[in-house]
A and B are shown apart, each in its own frame.
Chain A
Amino acid sequence: MSKTTFAAPRRISRRGFLAGSAALGTAMTLPAGAFAQQEGQLLLWLPGGSDLFCKIHTGLLEGFSTGAGLGTATTVCGLGQDTEFTQALIGAITAGNPPDISMLWDSPVSLGAQGAFMPLDDMMKDSKIPIDTWPAGLLSSCQFKGVTYGLPVTAGVYSMWYNQEMFEAKGLPSDRASFPKTWVEMRKLSKEFTVWDGDKLVSAGFMPNRVPETMAIWSALNGGMMFDEANLKYQIDSEQNVEMMNFFLEWLDEEYKGDFNLVDRSGNFLDGYPNPTTGMGPAFREGRQAGMQSGSWLLGDIFADPVPSFERWNLAANPVGPSGSASFSGTWPNWFVIPVGSKNPQAAFDYLSYLAIEGSVEWYQQIPDVPTNSQVQRKAPAGLVEKRGQEVADDITAFLGEQAAVVTPMWNSPVQSFYTDQIARAVEKIYTKASPVKDALGEAQAATQAELERVLAG
């Protein structure tokens, strides 16, 4: 028979206080695994995004879990973007308490190759989403040495955005077919729109690229590549890439006074969003920039504040460089992975199958991240239909689908972040004239190749 006893209230002794402190300290240092997730209950982590983004994913997971009889599902939103999110995820994996599924906004190759994510190839074989239902260029962003570590369920697809009204005001044709097909044509056209008032850039045509993440697309457009995955060799300082950067540098000198600082002082000509630091509005939406390269995510944001000063814009294929022969697109996917240590790997994969086909349609309807699996029947985003009409929305949706099928491999290196930083460093040195093109690219090549070999060794 057990007996419950109640101790008489006592004053806290020094020893008692210290013992209590020690016990509390020990409890606080317990591994997170002590509070591990339950089997049969899916846990999804999202790196960030808007409230709507979180709501969509929470709804999709709940719907799937209920339908599959899995019980309660949990979606954790907004855990921080970029490095902070990866740190949290790695921390959870090493502590043995990871989520069952996680979205990533950075390539899963690097951590997958180190054993952080489950290989999906075996699960894909007899599933609804076998390997051959994914565009090869896109899937390569999740693969290393033939092993698939994640799925690019949806993706922002890069293409050229242009202001049709600015084209028409100059008496130029504004249909997609008439858009410049080569860099030379685009540079020539760009001059038509570029107006300076002293050192202030009033309006611009197109800009030489300076976004490190998209350099792989421009390299492919010029017949080159940044990373030769088959031979595990970087090609950053290849002839095509040196030619590309020289082309951009000459363009900058000729049309933009050789100084991106002057451009940046005049407005945000970099992308279609307000600059979060300076508060400067996007020149494209302000009707001060004829065109730019951007991802399809802008389809969802372009109608938000600041509302464009024009109504008609369109998308076109990326033009081809002097040494290139075909147009390519590029993507920034929303990757999904199943971390090693997931308590429900099969259920997690089943959810990915659902998300890739049925879920991504609903997702695209509300936030235009393009579904990438070839079996998906895409429907135009509701917001786009409302603003531009069914015909234009369908046309843009079909165009993005075509572009998603011609993506160049990118995000496929086990040292992706290191490579991106090295490219950013080289591009800055080139544009600020701190280093000649060949030297800057050569330094990036040497450093990145050395890092790749270090990671691959052992």
Chain B
Amino acid sequence: MPGKSPSVGAAPPPRRNRKARRGEARAGLLFALPWIVGMTLFVAIPLVLTFYIAQTKFQIVGAPKWVGLQNYEALWTDPAFWKSAQNTLLFAVISVPLKLVIALGLALLLNRATALSGFYRTVFYLPFLMPAVAGSVVFMLLLTPNAGPVNIALEAMGLNPPDWLLDPKAALWTLILLSLWPLGVETLVFLGGLQNIPKDVSEAADLDSPKRWHKLVWVTLPLITPMVLFNLVIGIIYSFQVFTQAIVIGGTTGTPAEATLMYMVVLYRAAFRYFNMGLAAAMATVLFVVVLILTLLIFQTARSWVHYEGGER
């Protein structure tokens, strides 16, 4: 018919094709079903329950009793909530950028092709495999004030080392320092990004400017911004949830003098030491909202600084 060309896309697919696609979709759904069931049982339902329990008085034994917003009001006036929020925020603000910079530096070093590249990559990833509790205990031994190897070495150099984990002024900084130790995942993510940079782009950058930092700032960094975004978001989420090292080092009271009292420790002790599930759920809800807002903000700003190969995402 003149003026009307047959549209291939609009043509109804043959019946056998439709049947095959439906069958494929059903199979896909079935394969995804275990994950969907797991997600529903272990994530979605607990999440909804958390929002509900946050508005109840629930001591584990016995039924929850509706109290409305009382738990949130209690949080507002709880010094431990504010102290832990302050510590956690400081921890996140300092440790996340530090982690990113150090992991990027390591990734740039590991990206160099040498005979021992594989060995170094394994070595840098290995600490990630060590349980956090064991790692924390090792650091506690290393940083023991009088007999720890770190202080012995510093004293031998004529320095006056701090009481790393005993001095309230030093303890949080020590915790931040310890958080920089297992950087395997962040480094690997950056390394993956660096190895995906097309060779021709890299070579062209070398020709354009002999200065290495020019290439790093104008070519390498822009091309790995998706990895920076990933590490930043994951880093923020993890740093707000810092728990294992904090509780091993500072216990449930954030010794010394609440210097290591982190948000998740206060949440944990409310739930499992004081059996105040309502308050703990309220804390979890607040944390969820704060992390969600931060993540959304980062994604919002990411449009202006994250560059994807092949266009905007």
A contact residues vs B (CB 8 Å cutoff)? 14-15, 18, 21-22, 25, 29, 83, 86-87, 90, 93-94, 110-111, 114-116, 261, 264-266, 277-280, 340, 415, 417-418, 421, 424-425, 428-429, 432, 434, 443, 447, 451, 454-455, 457-458
Contact = CB atoms under 8 A, between A and B. Distances in A.
Closest 4 CB pairs of A and B: A265-B146, A116-B61, A265-B145, A114-B61
B206 to A, nearest CB: 52
A421 B255 CA distance: 11
Contact of A454 (B74, B137, B144, B256): B74
Contacts of A434: 168, 257
B34 A280 contact: no
A428 B74 CA distance: 24
B274 A279 contact: no
B257 A451 contact: no
Contacts of B144: 277-279
Contact of B60 (A25, A94, A455, A458): A94
B41 to A, nearest CB: 7
A277 B141 contact: yes
Contacts of B166: 261, 264
Contacts of A279: 141, 144, 147
B60 A443 contact: no
Contacts of B33: 18, 22
Contact of B27 (A14, A264, A425): A14
Contacts of B275: 90, 110-111, 114
A428 B37 contact: no
Contacts of A110: 275
B145 A18 contact: no
B87 interface: no
Contacts of B276: 454
Contacts of B140: 277
Contacts of B34: 18, 21-22, 25
Nearest to B165: A277
Interface string B257-286: 110000000000100111110000000000
26 contacts: A14-B27, A15-B30, A18-B30, A22-B33, A29-B41, A83-B252, A86-B272, A94-B61, A114-B60, A114-B62, A114-B275, A115-B61, A261-B166, A264-B166, A265-B146, A266-B146, A278-B141, A278-B146, A424-B253, A425-B253, A428-B253, A428-B256, A428-B257, A429-B257, A447-B78, A447-B79
B168 A432 contact: yes
Interface in B72-87: 74, 78-80
Interface of B: 27, 30-31, 33-34, 37-38, 41, 57, 59-62, 65, 74, 78-80, 137, 140-141, 144-147, 163, 166-168, 252-253, 255-258, 269, 272-276
Contacts, number: 100
B35 to A, nearest CB: 11
Highest count of chain B CB atoms <10 Å: which of A278, A340, A429: A278
A322 to B, nearest CB: 27
Nearest to A431: B257
A417 B273 contact: yes
B57 A458 contact: yes
Nearest to A90: B60
Given A340-B61, A458-B57, 11 more contacts: A25-B34, A111-B275, A114-B60, A114-B62, A116-B61, A264-B145, A264-B166, A277-B141, A278-B141, A280-B146, A454-B276
B63 to A, nearest CB: 10
B36 to A, nearest CB: 11
Contact of B163 (A14, A261, A340, A443): A261
A14 to B, nearest CB: 6
A122 to B, nearest CB: 21
Given A25-B34, A451-B274, A425 B258 contact: yes
A418 B257 CA distance: 16
B207 to A, nearest CB: 54
A265 B41 CA distance: 50
A371 to B, nearest CB: 30
B168 A417 contact: no
Contact of B62 (A115, A421, A443): A115
Contact of A458 (B65, B80, B167, B258): B65
Contacts of B57: 454, 457-458
A184 B135 CA distance: 45
A300 B41 CA distance: 49
Nearest to A266: B146
Contacts of B269: 421
Nearest to B57: A458
A417 B274 contact: yes
B165 to A, nearest CB: 9
A110 B61 CA distance: 11
B61 A93 contact: yes
A418 B274 CA distance: 6
A443 B34 CA distance: 50
Nearest to B27: A14
A265 B167 CA distance: 12
A338 to B, nearest CB: 14
Nearest to A428: B257
A418 B272 CA distance: 11
Highest count of chain A CB atoms <10 Å: which of B140, B145, B163, B253: B253
A30 B144 CA distance: 46
Contacts of B255: 424, 428
Contact of A278 (B65, B147, B257): B147
Contacts of A94: 60-61
A428 B80 CA distance: 14
A261 B31 CA distance: 59
B90 to A, nearest CB: 17
A29 B31 CA distance: 21
Contact of B145 (A15, A261, A451): A261
Nearest to B167: A261
Contacts of A278: 141, 144-147
Nearest to B270: A418
A93 B62 CA distance: 10
Contacts of B252: 83, 421
Given A111-B61, A264-B166, A432 B257 contact: yes
Nearest to B271: A87
Contacts of B256: 428, 432
Nearest to B33: A18
B281 to A, nearest CB: 15
Contact of A415 (B30, B137, B167, B274): B274
